[in-house]
Structure 1
């Protein structure tokens, strides 16, 4: 009987054309990735991470004007595109040496560098479209700030809140600064610098002064404007910008958040971010270095903190008040983030919150979570601390009664909802500049003696009527004791007949 041998061909079948195409496509992507690895590390402008922008897109996406490629061409942002062209025309009219050909040529030289600043490639924008966008957006930003300063004669003493007329921009310019401080609405600052140079604008104002004034306008426009100081005084108090400014959010963050090693920080009786530049509040507005202090605040080194993770959770303002803690407006804060706790009193600088504040807070925190933010995220820690204090509308009422919060959002519930949601997706380090404050506040609130003292005050000294009742009861007790004493005395030592 013959043996039947069955030979099984175990060779891999030849790849299909679809597999070959997939492999080639993926290999091209990998080759491009390796070629651009070093360049990708240098991007400075990016979309907000989904975990931070989820359920609050309105705080991160523009609604009036598009700057940069992320939201370029969107239908609801086309209203100001015509104004961009008008601003380009105004820029070209600043000197006979300026021409459209010169501007386009300079922007083309910066195209490759500009594209590398974004963490996306924008292949849908060819070279001409990208350069056109750079020129129009750059001129819009430069002319916007230039017109504000020119309309105020460079004095800033009477800087109008809405100094640009509707004829100049077509819209209420109040909304523009908030749009310019969105992370997804940025162009590299070197584009503005280049247009500033070729426009010879430095003949009217030095570049460093101009940058400081941009920072000043951004900060002051976050809130309602009040009286302002002279130009020279403002310039001397605005911190020097970083050696390389990435974009407007970077400039604003650097000017607002203090740096322990070399800090130029904002200080005022009221941190509504525009009134803080008032003439009567300007003294001591900025300090060059954090002085030593006994209070647990940012003036103490950011690294001087404990690792007690349980101390990162504190009761709300309502609970703390019930436990005897007091809240007070800090009279002479060193900077906006200067919170301290001493002798049962939590001192916080005044903070005004309106619709314009909301996206600013959200985007500054998002920027702080990038590699360009400061170590330990002090601004995020500050907002998270406020979030811990405010859980209900009544917590807002307590802080309002103390003069700490000035609420322009319509209701206490709106403000509580904002603070409870704005920190979603943010991470607070275990060690940060408020760790000691958390620790001391929690220690105070858990003290048996403080609880009993607070209960005594709440039960017997909470109102004039309870105090009167307590005094009356005390007097009655004293009279009863006196009466009892004389009764016993007369019994023991009866009067002689």
Structure 2
């Protein structure tokens, strides 16, 4: 991070200029002459002294205005029940949510002595200065004391809420009557707490890494991974446990190691790490892809390309396999419910931050899915194969969701390059397309299959009878001698 106030010396032919660089300003160079300005840009020493953009620590940013311009998505970025951090703090419409923080914080602290709680608060005060730097400059107009109190209260609230959901604590449900909306609010980009604050507070109840494991378990529940559910959800989770999630233990171990070496900035980044596996990401593959034509899921099935759930839920786990007569596109299974749109949009907003050090993996996934989904029939195809688990409503609602989220988004040109090349190669094979079209036309329902089979048998029998008649005629005309 750039120090509070640095001096930058810029040399030019005639004079030397001293420039003040304040924290948060990339360069204060508006008063320089053209020569000085150009010299400053090309001066590698100046770059190394003040720190390159890549070396600056990313902040908890506001959502970019261009994303808020999409009318159908506007409400997905603002909290509806509870504010976390400074950006939405004090809004009148969130006053009721503010009142539920203290009871949950009290639950989180109830097994600790007053001395322990006071010591814990002092630890939060000690990191409050660093935490303040995680927010955009000029948007944290709070005294040091009020800011530290906000960090402490919001952090205790978040951890007790997560702890209560993961462990099904009745008191949490009794205090919070809008638990699904609170859950949604925790995934908003502008509603984040610096993770270092949560790390300090987690020491109260958790051993090393136990707190992170609890948060990971919470995220898994949101994504539909194994947890304590009942009825239909339990059956779905059992299916995923046997067929999908079991293969992820190695990935989770790698993610934990990555978290230790490079802790997340905030809760939303930890969520993104669950969606995008940086150890196997294909998003960053810098290979120039051939032209790829957009086709819907129905278009794929009509040319013999089938769909199958991937072995993991990672958004990068997309693959295509081709055989002599057909192809299979593997896609990660995803549960679509009432908070899916908000989560995906805020992950996109995080990737769009000017200081983001991530690729656009979530953005690219959404654009890829949007290319497959034009209408409800496409959702029906993917739902039937277990790729889309629809808890939102009709298939049309799911189609609208992906179409709305993808509005004005631009994917990485390198995303899924190999997959797209394989699909295009398969589609350009006239023999495969002809066979697939023939199978699709004549074998898509049992009556057509029976009719075609009967016709083939009739033709075969007719040919056989013709051959027998020809042989008999020949033998009659040319009887064997002797």
TM range (shorter): 0.7 to 0.9
Shift of 1:307: 0.9
Shift of 1:136: 2.4
Report the counterpart of residue 207 of structure 1 in structure 2: 208
Distance 2:341 2:139 in 1: 29
Change (3 A) 1:465 1:195: closer
Distance 1:248 1:375 in 2: 15
Query: More helix by proportion, 1 or 2?
Result: 2
| Of 378, 387, 395, the match for 2:361 | 378
1:333-368 deviations in whole A, cap 9, x for unaligned? 484531211121112232221112222222222223
Shift of 1:436: 0.7
SS in 2 for 1:207: coil
SS in 2 for 1:342: strand
Shift of 1:32: 9.3
Report the counterpart of residue 9 of structure 1 in structure 2: none
Aligned 8 A contact 2:296 2:372 in 1: yes
Aligned 8 A contact 1:52 1:424 in 2: no
The answer to whether the aligner puts 1:411 opposite 2:378 as a matched pair is no
The answer to whether the aligner puts 1:49 opposite 2:61 as a matched pair is no
The answer to whether the aligner puts 1:166 opposite 2:185 as a matched pair is no
| Of 430, 449, 465, the match for 2:447 | 465
| Of 339, 342, 362, the match for 2:321 | 342
What is the aligned length? 406
Aligned 8 A contact 1:219 1:252 in 2: no
Aligned 8 A contact 2:187 2:346 in 1: yes
Aligned 8 A contact 1:309 1:430 in 2: no
| Of 450, 453, 472, the match for 2:432 | 450
SS in 1 for 2:59: coil
SS in 2 for 1:175: helix
Aligned 8 A contact 1:223 1:356 in 2: no
Distance 2:276 2:155 in 1: 26
Shift of 1:484: 5.0
Change (3 A) 1:463 1:96: closer
1:212-264 deviations in whole A, cap 9, x for unaligned? 221221232343863599xxx9996862425343111122223442122xxxx
Aligned 8 A contact 1:222 1:360 in 2: no
The answer to whether the aligner puts 1:316 opposite 2:316 as a matched pair is no
Distance 1:450 1:474 in 2: 21
Aligned 8 A contact 1:115 1:121 in 2: no
The answer to whether the aligner puts 1:80 opposite 2:62 as a matched pair is no
1:23-66 deviations in whole A, cap 9, x for unaligned? xxxxxxxx997454269954511111122233202222111111
Report the counterpart of residue 266 of structure 1 in structure 2: none
Shift of 1:466: 1.9
Gaps (5+ residues) in structure 1?
Answer: 1-30, 153-159, 261-289, 291-297
Q: Which moved more, 1:482-491 or 1:236-245?
A: 482-491
The answer to whether the aligner puts 1:359 opposite 2:347 as a matched pair is no
Aligned 8 A contact 2:104 2:172 in 1: no
- Determine which structure has more spread, i.e. the larger CA radius of gyration: 1
Aligned 8 A contact 1:177 1:218 in 2: no
1:413-437 deviations in whole A, cap 9, x for unaligned? 11111111212343312113x1111
Change (3 A) 1:490 1:112: closer
Shift of 1:314: 3.1
Shift of 1:105: 5.8
The answer to whether the aligner puts 1:438 opposite 2:420 as a matched pair is yes
Gaps (5+ residues) in structure 2?
Answer: 1-18, 27-50, 229-236, 242-248
SS in 2 for 1:239: helix
Distance 1:327 1:123 in 2: 48
Aligned 8 A contact 1:317 1:390 in 2: yes
The answer to whether the aligner puts 1:96 opposite 2:117 as a matched pair is no
* Residue correspondence of structure 1 range 52-71 to structure 2 within 5 A: 52-53=67-68, 54-55=70-71, 56-71=73-88
1:312-341 deviations in whole A, cap 9, x for unaligned? x431111111111111233x3484531211
Give TM-score, length-normalised by structure 2.
0.73
Report the counterpart of residue 186 of structure 1 in structure 2: 192
1:443-493 deviations in whole A, cap 9, x for unaligned? 212321122112211232222222222233233334444555566677777
Change (3 A) 1:341 1:69: same
CA RMSD of aligned residues (A): 3.5
Distance 1:218 1:496 in 2: 86
Report the counterpart of residue 151 of structure 2 in structure 1: 134
Shift of 1:129: 4.2
Change (3 A) 1:146 1:488: closer
Change (3 A) 1:496 1:189: closer
